Amino acid sequence: MQIDEIIKLIETVSKNNVDSLNYSTDAEKIVIKKNKTKFVAGEVQAVPVAQSVSFEAANTAEDTNIAGHTVTSPLVGTFYSAPSPDAPSFVKVGDSVRKGQVIGIIEAMKLMNELESDFDGVVKEILVKDEDVVEFGQPLFILE
């Protein structure tokens, strides 16, 4: 299957009320699952990713309970805190953010996916560094 055909499958799943798609032949298998995130190949995509949760975070001196609005990674990829290496970070600790504001980028499969906050608040903590590899569901930011 060509990349154009895969992109069409992804777009079809995204546009329709379909939660998952399984496609297989003797030579290949493709599984597409629709989550809370959106993927559009070939363009930068804004992805709302925040959820309200509390979690335990390790501190070098002691364990602390950090409560707040946690922004988690919607996919596996490389986190970028700025739009380019020489540009300032989208946000830093203490910055106020608005719902819909870009707070980072995750690169996955050569596609840059913008992360948007779905919460108005203040950046309490940034849990990842620029160019860190992140996992699906990994906490990235704490907002209060």
Q: What's the distance, CA 34 to chain centroid?
A: 14
The CA–CA distances, whole Å, from 95 to 1, 4, 12, 19 equal 45, 40, 37, 36
Mean pLDDT of 134-140: 92
Give pLDDT, residue 122. 95
87: Cβ contacts below 8 Å, ≥ 6 apart: none
N-term to C-term CA, the chain: 45
Global pTM reads 0.55
pLDDT confidence of 30, banded at 50, 70, 90? confident
Give pLDDT, residue 92. 95
CA geometry: angle 122, 128, 130, nearest 5 deg: 105
Domain ranges of the chain: 3-33, 45-143
Dihedral sign for Cα atoms in the order 47, 107, 33, 10: positive
Reply yes or no on domain 45-143 having CATH 3.30.1490.20: no
Give the Cα separation of 76 and 133 in Å (integer). 7
The model's pLDDT over 50-96, given as tens digits with 9 standing for 90+, comes to 443 333 333 333 434 456 889 999 899 999 999 999 999 999 999 99
Whether residue 5 is predicted with pLDDT greater than 90 in this model: the reply is no
Mean pLDDT of 7-14: 74
Instruction: Tell me which of 19-28, 37-46, 130-139 is least confident.
Output: 37-46
